[in-house]
Structure 1
Amino acid sequence: MAVGLGPLPDFHAITGLRLGVARAGIKKPGRRDLVVMALEEGAQVAGIFTRNQFCAAPVLVTREHLSQAAPRFLLINTGNANAGNGEQGVADARTCCAALADLTGTAPNQTLPFSTGVIGEPLPVEVIRNGLPEALDNLAENHWAEAAEGIMTTDTLPKGATCRLELDGKPVHISGISKGAGMIRPNMATMLGFLATDADIEPALLQSLVSELGEQSFNRITIDGDTSTNDACMLVATGRSEAPRLTADSPHLNAFREALKAVFMTLAHAIVRDGEGATKFITIRVEQAASTQEALDVAYTLAHSPLVKTALFASDPNWGRILAAVGRAGVPDLDLSAIEIDLGDVALVRNGGRAADYTEARGQAVMDESDITIRVGLGRGEVNDTVWTCDLSQDYVTINAEYRT
Structure 2
Amino acid sequence: RFYGQEGKDTVSSKDFLKDIKICYRSASEEQKTDYIADHLGTNSPAEKWYDGLGGDVKKTWATFEAEFFKQFPPPQEAKRGKEEVERELLSAELLASELGKMVQKGGTDVWAHVAFADRLLQLAKEAGIEKTNECIWQVRDKLPTPLRDKIASTHTSWTAFCDSIRLVDTTAVKDALERDRQLEEVREQLANQKRELQRQTALLEQQRTRISSETTAATAALTAKLNAMSLTTPQWMREGQGSQPSQGYGVSAPIRRQNTTSTSATATRPRPPQEPVTEELRAATRELMALYPHQPATETGVAEYKAQLKRWMEKHPNTRHASHTTGFPLSPRASRICTGECFKCGESSHLRAQCTAPPAVQLPPPEQWWRGHCDRVV
Q: Please report the TM-score for the alignment, with normalisation by the length of structure 1.
A: 0.18
Larger strand share, 1 or 2: 1
The structure whose Rg is larger is 2
Higher relative contact order (CA 8 A, sep 6+): 1
